[in-house]
Amino acid sequence: MKHLTILVPDAQTALSTISCIVGAYDFFTRANEFRKENGERPVFKVELAGVSGRSEFANGLVAIMPQTDISSIRKTHLIIIPSMTSEFKKAVSGNLLLINWIEEQYKNGAEVASMCSGAFMLASTGLLNGRNCSIHWDSADNLKSLFPEVNIKTEKLITDEHGLYTNGGGYSFLNLLLYLIEKYYDRQTAIYCSKIFQVEIDRVTQSDFAIFTPQKSHGDEVVKKAQSYLEDNFSEKISFEDLSQRFAVGRRNFDRRFVKATGNTPLEYLQRIKIESAKKAFETTRKTINEVMYEVGYADLKTFREVFRKITGMSPLAYRNKYNRDAV
């Protein structure tokens, strides 16, 4: 039987940390029971492990007592890191011990899965450097600033690379659990858990949930002014050559500074502003696809559809039908 370690951090936690811990324990326990009911051996021995005998959450409102200390686990096969506070800056307290333990276990063959902002702890090990990582779109900028060598993929619901798994935000960690159960158990067990817990199986994207929030904590005043100009004039025809001249910066240097500051090229930034405005129109009005398209500055329906799908993972019509019942 393999060993599964669900970590219980002793600091930098949130209410979502509890949800991840309890959810993971519930899913894998149920998967084991399903196997036994079908005359097969359970796949995992599931243990909650930490560095203290009691971890408190939400100012003592809830407490979890880990079943064991990480120091007593010599060999584990899968480690699950729950979500943490989105204001993470650097690991503190017993979380430093957890980070060192994760790194050592990974070197010994363990796989590691982080849920949402648990990616901060996983990234702190250095294991994500040069690798893909999903996280809640609202935490992406903080993760990027703290760990610039990590390839952030907010459009992905789940990443799976070299025995490292990450997933997006909110309760999408349930989809990661189904993904892991299918990988370690089988498809039949994953479908069973999907039906028991009523979680949609095979979700692959979180793009349609993302709200574009411009990154402006970079300190480049020229880029900030350019961002403001794009946000105020996104429906107009914009020449990036003219925009760079407006701020007396060469085009190549302007593009380089813009990407460094925001993580997007000027064109990508403009597209995201346009599509965010289109999304709001689809959510709150009865305007047609063409009306919204013209309103945000597109003249070609094919181009509008392609950009919208690239950013949200859905067509404009599908998005409107999903988020605006009145329009439907």
Q: Are 196 and 270 found together in one domain?
A: no
CATH of the domain at 159: 3.40.50.880
Which tokens belong to 53? 């005998």
Does residue 60 sit within a domain?
yes
Q: Are 31 and 96 found together in one domain?
A: yes
Which tokens belong to 85? 């506070």
Last residue of a domain, one of 177, 207, 237: 207
Does residue 144 sit within a domain?
yes
Does residue 172 sit within a domain?
yes
pLDDT by residue (tens digit) across 217-263? Answer: 788 999 999 999 999 899 999 999 999 999 999 999 999 999 988 88
CA atoms within 13 A on the CB side of 321: 5
Which tokens belong to 48? 């909650």
Q: Are 273 and 126 found together in one domain?
A: no
156 in Cβ contact with 207 (< 8 Å): no
pLDDT by residue (tens digit) across 194-205? Answer: 999 999 887 766
Strands 158-161 and 164-167: antiparallel
Question: How many of the other CB atoms lie within 10 Å of CB of 157?
Answer: 23
Q: Are 119 and 93 found together in one domain?
A: yes
Long-range Cβ contacts of 195-202 (<8 Å, 24+ apart): 196/30, 197/26, 197/27, 197/30, 199/174, 199/175, 200/175, 201/175
Q: Are 198 and 120 found together in one domain?
A: yes
CATH of the domain at 239: 1.10.10.60
Q: Are 132 and 188 found together in one domain?
A: yes
Q: Are 128 and 270 found together in one domain?
A: no
Q: Write out the H or E segment, with its range, that includes residue 103.
A: helix 95-107
* Percent of the chain residues past pLDDT 70, beyond the cut: 97
What local confidence, expressed as pLDDT, does residue 326 receive? Answer: 74
Does residue 216 sit within a domain?
no
Q: Are 33 and 182 found together in one domain?
A: yes
User: Averaging pLDDT over each range in 20-34, 150-164, 228-242, 308-322, which range is the top one?
Assistant: 20-34
Q: Which range marks the domain in which residue 244 is found? A: 221-323
DSSP letters of 112-158?
EEE-GGGHHHHHHTTTTTTSEE---GGGHHHHHHH-TTSEE-TTBSE
| R_g (Cα) of the chain, nearest Å | 22
Q: Are 69 and 28 found together in one domain?
A: yes
Last residue of a domain, one of 158, 173, 207: 207
Q: Are 262 and 134 found together in one domain?
A: no
pLDDT by residue (tens digit) across 38-81? Answer: 999 999 999 999 998 888 887 777 889 999 999 999 999 999 99
CA atoms within 13 A on the CB side of 85: 14
pLDDT at 327 over 70: no
Structural domains counted in the chain = 2
Q: Write out the H or E segment, with its range, that includes residue 213.
A: none
Look up the pTM and report it: 0.70
Q: Are 227 and 82 found together in one domain?
A: no
CA atoms within 13 A on the CB side of 306: 6
What local confidence, expressed as pLDDT, does residue 175 receive? Answer: 93
Biggest CA-to-CA distance, the chain: 73
What local confidence, expressed as pLDDT, does residue 10 receive? Answer: 85
Does residue 103 sit within a domain?
yes
**Phi, psi angle pair for 132, to nearest 5°:** -80, 150
Q: Are 154 and 255 found together in one domain?
A: no
Does residue 328 sit within a domain?
no
